[in-house]
Amino acid sequence: MDGQLKTAPPESREIVRGGMPYELPLEMPVQDLRRAPPHESLGAPGVRTVVARVIAVGGMLAITGYGIREMLAIVSTSDMTTLQGIMLFFFAVTLAWISFAASSSVAGLIPAAKHASASEEGSRTALLMPIYNEDSSRTTAALQAMAESLAQANVAQHFEIVIISDSTQVDAWIGESLAVDRLRRELRDIMPVWYRRRWHNTGRKAGNVEEFVKRWGGRYDYMIVLDADSLMSADTLIELVRRMQGDARLGILQTVPMLIGSASLFSRVQQFAGRIYGALIARGVSAWSGNDGNYWGHNAIIRVTAFAQACGLPQLPGRKPFGGHVLSHDFVEAAFIRRAGWKVQMATDLEGSWEESPPSLVDIAIRDRRWAQGNLQHSKVIGANGLAFTNRTHFFIGIMSYLSSPLWLMLLLVGFALTLQASLIRPEYFSSEFQLFPDWPVFDAPRMTKLFIFTMIVLFAPKVLGLLRGLMISRVRKGCGGVIGITLSTVVETIISALYAPIMMLVQTQHVISILTGRDSGWGPQRRHAAITAWGEAWSVHWPHILIGVIIGLIAYLLSPTLVAWLSPTLAGLLLAVPLSKMSGSIRAGRILSRMVLLRTPEEREIPALMRRRDELVHLATPAPQEGLRHIARNRQAMLAHITGNLPRPPETRGHPDPHRLTAQYKVMDAQSLQEALSWLGPAERIHVAGDPRLLERLSELPD
């Protein structure tokens, strides 16, 4: 079926049932963690991949080995105390973690691999956008802009837009229906637009995509999975399809999305760092991954048959937060597709792939809680039979990205305890055995200073290499403000990130503790656009961090003012946590830096035409109704668009009617006015009313 245009009955070209085409299902068997499916080997990795792995792993081992040797020389091994041994352990783990990032950055300097490419003719690709209580005017504007760009490239006939919703809020759902109706009318001569909202959010986003593949996957060769804030140029979309067409063994091809559209201080810091350092690290990951690459859940193309064959996710054993449905499904799907004999690659050479950043420190902390649970949950998948070692490495890196924060905290606390021990406990210079000379404490301060400087060099190596690479690429250098602009921006980003780092360390440590004590993250919508962080909101999140900073600072000052100086970068971030968090969401601070030509990116200097068109469409869009049910009750055309654009509610199990539906029906039928009905209905009941044409008709008949 790959590479051939799927044919469906003629009626599938029209909206057959509630906004979706004729079903062409694919089987999607649940995968067994204990048994790998049979598959053909892809052979040995290429020379580029081997060289990159030698650089990444060899560099990490060499740096870590040197650091351990120096630390052992600083503290006499013959008289090593338990605390010193613990400190050595945490130091070694932390140094290995940062040295692997540095070595991967060096591997990122290896030129990108070339990909086979063929014509997109004869293929059909779904531009698949899963959404969950999103701003429908922005999501449909992005899709319209991409569709128009594909039409300008004369390839729109090979693509279809598919919006799969998991929205649980009635106003968001009705807004989606009306926005999709407008999008269909705008694109009626360009490409089909399909829309489906699920009634049951089984498996969250992964379950949303899985249900689509099971019911409609046979219609498509490929799906390009988009997030609600994704934007991809026509050139990139076309090239992704062509590379899939050119390599029949390619299962997933992941782009490296750059952050755009950032207005707040925090999002601009993230945007600049992603452009200068993140891109280089991603190139390194791609280099040492080879055909065992990773998938980040969006801005990637997937071969639908491969996904159906390999990515039926099992429920993990045990209770939440470690058991149940897989949360961070993307890593698992990449590993399973690779396990089934398909290639998973990263297209680091493709520009024109973008996404947006959370606008503030509070927003990224909320999102990070779900990601932390999903990544730690991979501890139950990492040992699955048949996985490539590189995919296990991806799982380990994901787990360590959150465990590194408590490990860093432990390293600080152990170092603090050692200082406390040295200050309060008198050393024993003469042992119980007879000796002529005392046992003087052994501590090589100059060597310790050199090791500290060496560690800082390793820590900042990705930033320095990213800066040097940015200076050598004309478009990046000019787009970031020239030599002076990009250099000063790197300094500013480093200072701001250093202030936020200890806050994020404690936030992620809280996340890890919360998960280990059995608390589930839940599933809430994301705030994607800049909004003012209230003082109260910042205080409620960060007061524990200030308290910890005050306690550490006071104890350090009583022990030694010099210790306070050493801890000052960490203490500054903690003590200023609330104003720093408040400032993180500040659009004004972001604009000031932009006017100073700081933290700029090429997309800010020269806004992509696709982004300009999306923003224009957002500006022209009719705002979503504030009260969705009232709006469609008083607007016959909107009601018909909502009813005809949605699949009917699935039938209930006999003998088990939904109580919310029953109470909603009774309330609507009993109400004597629209206002009375709406005042009686709860959130779950409103959903059932919005999905029942008979009840909507009844609402429309009620007086105000």
- Span 599-619, average pLDDT: 94
Note the pLDDT of residue 1.
37
Across 76-199, the runs of DSSP E, i.e. the strands, are 125-131, 159-165, 193-197
- Span 587-591, average pLDDT: 91
> Which tokens is 296 given?
């980040």
pLDDT exceeds cutoff 80 at 395? yes
* Beta-bridge partner residues of 345: 253
Cα separation, 207 vs 214, in Å, equals 10
Buried b (16+ CB within 10 A) or exposed e, 146-174: bbbbbbeeebbebbbbbbbbbbbebbbbb
Note the pLDDT of residue 135.
92
β-pairing, 231-232 with 353-355?
antiparallel
Note the pLDDT of residue 687.
96
Note the pLDDT of residue 566.
79
Largest CA distance in the chain: 104
Note the pLDDT of residue 559.
77
Question: What percentage of the chain reaches a pLDDT higher than 90?
Answer: 74
Helical residues (DSSP H) of 425-534, grouped into ranges: 445-472, 474-479, 482-516
The full set of domains in the chain, from first to last, is 10-36+122-265+282-357+380-401 (3.90.550.10), 649-701 (no CATH)
For the chain, what is the radius of gyration of the CA atoms? Answer: 28
Note the pLDDT of residue 529.
60
Which phi and psi (to 5°) does residue 125 adopt?
-125, 135
- Span 134-159, average pLDDT: 96
Across 266-342, the runs of DSSP E, i.e. the strands, are 300-303
Cα–Cα distance list, 593 to 260, 354, 424, 487, 606 (Å):
16, 22, 47, 14, 17
Buried b (16+ CB within 10 A) or exposed e, 585-595: bbbebbeebbe
Matching residue, tokens 């999008």? 183
Least confident of 64-78, 321-335, 340-354: 64-78
DSSP 275: I
Note the pLDDT of residue 400.
95
Are the CB atoms for 6 and 218 separated by under 8 Å?
A: yes
pLDDT exceeds cutoff 60 at 672? yes
Cα separation, 322 vs 516, in Å, equals 9
Matching residue, tokens 């995509």? 209
Are the CB atoms for 305 and 1 separated by under 8 Å?
A: yes
Nearest to 325 by CA among 511, 524, 521: 521
Question: What percentage of the chain reaches a pLDDT higher than 70?
Answer: 92
What angle do the packed helices 47-74 and 82-107 form, to 10 degrees? Answer: 150
**Residue 186: is it exposed, middle or buried by C-beta count within 10 angstroms (0-12/13-18/19+)?**
middle
Which residues are within 8 A (CB) of 405 and not within 5 positions of it... i.e. 6 or more apart?
A: 504, 505, 506, 507, 508, 509, 512
pLDDT tens figures, 426-484: 555 445 554 444 444 455 567 888 988 999 999 999 999 999 999 999 999 999 999 99
Across 359-467, the runs of DSSP E, i.e. the strands, are none
**Residue 87: is it exposed, middle or buried by C-beta count within 10 angstroms (0-12/13-18/19+)?**
buried
Which residue type does 335 have? A
- Span 28-38, average pLDDT: 93
- Span 122-128, average pLDDT: 96
Q: How many residues does the chain have?
A: 704
Note the pLDDT of residue 164.
97
Which phi and psi (to 5°) does residue 174 adopt?
-65, -40
Cα separation, 472 vs 478, in Å, equals 10
Are the CB atoms for 55 and 107 separated by under 8 Å?
A: yes
Between CA 576 and CA 584, with CA 580 as vertex, the angle to 5 degrees is 170
Note the pLDDT of residue 63.
97
**Residue 444: is it exposed, middle or buried by C-beta count within 10 angstroms (0-12/13-18/19+)?**
middle
pLDDT tens figures, 243-290: 999 999 999 999 999 999 888 999 999 999 999 999 999 999 999 999
Are the CB atoms for 684 and 660 separated by under 8 Å?
A: yes
pLDDT exceeds cutoff 60 at 12? no
User: Taking the model in full, what pTM does it have?
Assistant: 0.91
pLDDT exceeds cutoff 80 at 530? no
* Beta-bridge partner residues of 223: 126, 302
How far is CA 414 from its chain centroid? 32
pLDDT tens figures, 632-664: 999 999 999 999 999 988 888 888 899 999 999
Give the count of beta carbons closer than 10 Å to the beta carbon of residue 695.
22
pLDDT, averaged across the chain:
90
pLDDT exceeds cutoff 90 at 373? yes
pLDDT tens figures, 533-588: 788 888 999 999 999 999 988 888 887 777 788 788 889 999 999 999 999 999 99
Strand order in the sheet with 159-165: 193-197, 159-165, 125-131, 222-225, 300-303, 250-255, 343-347
Are the CB atoms for 353 and 256 separated by under 8 Å?
A: yes
**Residue 57: is it exposed, middle or buried by C-beta count within 10 angstroms (0-12/13-18/19+)?**
middle
